[in-house]
Structure 1
Amino acid sequence: MKPYKLIPIQECGEPLLPIPSEIFAFVLPHPYAKVGAPYGDKSPFYLRESVLNSLVTAQKDLQERYSGWRIQIFDAYRPIAVQRFMVDHTFRELVQASGLALETLTAKQQQEIWEQVYGFWAVPSDDPATPPPHSTGSAVDVTLVDETGQPVDMGSQIDELSPRSFPGHFADSQLPQEQQYHRHRQLLREVMVNAGFQPHPHEWWHFCLGDQMWAWLVNQEDPARGAIARYGAIA
């Protein structure tokens, strides 16, 4: 079990609210819905009320630095059923990319692939004490678009299963283009952190506020805080 899952949750009951499309950019069609993820009548473009307010603050900060730039929402609220679907989908993709077949996988091969999957995806747990971060409505995957609406190059795609996904992957590069990737990642990180979010240690795009991972990261910085989570899973 990942250590942040040990953080207790005291659900505050805040509602999910729609992310306003007039303020933010959206990745459309939604990438998980496009491959068949079962959202039903749910939308990925929702966040808890206070989390959304903080995201608006981050957008204002970005606008003050780069007029016309917007935070683009790749994914926010994610029902547990969608988490489970995407975990299984990623497993199948990795099997195919490895030139293997599901029917003939050895136990060792299965274990190695699952380790890759869970290196980036949270376990789709139904246990109220260990919800996947996105199922709480307090985690968001974001990138940037410029004043023309074009994506800002961050050096790798969201959800890429490679070392390039680590936030500081390009930090020590001497190549001008890779230095630019790092500056873009730092810009995104700064506006999100200034608004109260915590950045995922291994994913440049993932930020959270109020969930178990957020509380764990806050306590890593200052153990005296004794932060706990205020958002649990939403069915």
Structure 2
Amino acid sequence: MKPYHAIPLEDCGEPLVAIPPDTFAMVDPHPYQQLGAPYGGQSPYRLRAGVLEALQEAQRWLQRPWPQWRIQIFDAYRPIAVQQFMVNHALGELRQQRYPQATDLTEAQQRELMADVIQFWAVPSLDPRTPPPHSTGAAVDISLVDAEGHPIPMGSPIDEISDRSWPNYFANHPDPETQRFHHHRQILNQAMASAGFCRHPQEWWHFSLGDQLWAWLQREADPSQPVIARYGCAEPEIPTPLAPIGPGKTPL
């Protein structure tokens, strides 16, 4: 369990709604659909209605000082089956990077891989008290683009499993050119915070509003406020088993 899973959750029943493609820039084709993630014919570009309204507010804030910039949506709602698929995919990729010649992995190696993956990927859960953030429809992965649709440099790609993903990784970098990565991350964070979002402590691209992670971060900032989560799993379902990361081995 993550620390935020201890936060009480009372789903408000708000529906998932489509993110209007004319308002935001969209990553197209969707990166997880390209990998074969099982969306069941549904669009990944959906959020809870209140979260979408806040995202639109964040873009309005952004475009006051930077009128040509837009928020780019990398990913939004994930069914639990997609979360499971992507955890398996991340495990497989990391295994290939670190142990490309290995035909089998030790238990210690498996634990090491899983520990690194779950820093950045929430483990799928059937328990309605502990939904993955993206499966609530209250979390979104985003970046920024300019008027021509070119990415604003952030210093590392979304979903990278490394310290570069930490929001303040470049904060004290001595190179002025590299410092701009931190500046751009701060602009994105300020825009989202202006609309009530909280940023994931380890991912510069991940923002949420109303889920357990958001409520936990609110409580961490002000322990006197007993904030609870208002978005649970949007469409509960049974995930597929975790794929093995070594012959005859399972990830856990």
TM-score, with normalisation over the residues of structure 2?
Answer: 0.91
Q: How far apart in 1 are the matches of 2:102 and 2:14?
A: 42
Q: How far apart in 2 are the matches of 1:202 and 1:180?
A: 19
Q: How far apart in 2 are the matches of 1:100 and 1:151?
A: 31
Task: Give the structure 2 partner of residue 55 of structure 1.
Answer: 55
Q: How many residues align?
A: 235
Task: Report the secondary structure of 1:34's partner residue.
Answer: helix
Alignment of 1:50-129 (within 5 A): 50-100=50-100, 103-129=103-129
Question: 5+ residue gaps in structure 1?
Answer: none
What residue identity is the alignment partner of 2:172?
Answer: D
Q: How far apart in 2 are the matches of 1:110 and 1:102?
A: 12
Task: Give the structure 2 partner of residue 212 of structure 1.
Answer: 212
Q: 1:212 to 1:102 in 2, by over 3 A?
A: farther
What residue identity is the alignment partner of 2:66?
Answer: Y
TM-score, with normalisation over the residues of structure 1?
Answer: 0.98
1:5–1:129 Cα contact (<8 Å) kept: yes
Q: How far apart in 2 are the matches of 1:9 and 1:134?
A: 15
- The Cα offsets for residues 28-76 of structure 1, whole Å up to 9 and x where unpaired, read as 1111111111111221110101100000000001111111210000001
RMSD over aligned Cα, in angstroms?
1.0
Q: CA deviation at 1:195?
A: 0.6
- The Cα offsets for residues 70-111 of structure 1, whole Å up to 9 and x where unpaired, read as 000000100000000000011111111113467511111111
Q: CA deviation at 1:126?
A: 1.1
What residue identity is the alignment partner of 1:124?
Answer: P
Task: Report the secondary structure of 1:216's partner residue.
Answer: helix
Q: How far apart in 1 are the matches of 2:102 and 2:147?
A: 45
Q: How far apart in 2 are the matches of 1:83 and 1:101?
A: 27
Q: 1:184 to 1:4 in 2, by over 3 A?
A: same
Q: How far apart in 1 are the matches of 2:92 and 2:35?
A: 12
Q: CA deviation at 1:147?
A: 1.1
Q: How far apart in 1 are the matches of 2:180 and 2:30?
A: 27
1:12 aligns with 2:12: yes
Q: How far apart in 1 are the matches of 2:71 and 2:32?
A: 19
Q: How far apart in 1 are the matches of 2:180 and 2:3?
A: 33
Task: Report the secondary structure of 2:189's partner residue.
Answer: helix
Q: How far apart in 2 are the matches of 1:12 and 1:159?
A: 29
Q: How far apart in 1 are the matches of 2:41 and 2:15?
A: 16
Task: Report the secondary structure of 1:44's partner residue.
Answer: coil
Q: How far apart in 2 are the matches of 1:140 and 1:159?
A: 12
Task: Report the secondary structure of 2:72's partner residue.
Answer: strand
Task: Report the secondary structure of 2:224's partner residue.
Answer: helix
1:95–1:101 Cα contact (<8 Å) kept: no
Task: Give the structure 2 partner of residue 201 of structure 1.
Answer: 201
Task: Give the structure 2 partner of residue 36 of structure 1.
Answer: 36
Task: Give the structure 2 partner of residue 26 of structure 1.
Answer: 26
Q: How far apart in 2 are the matches of 1:221 and 1:130?
A: 21
Task: Give the structure 1 partner of residue 144 of structure 2.
Answer: 144
Q: How far apart in 1 are the matches of 2:27 and 2:101?
A: 32
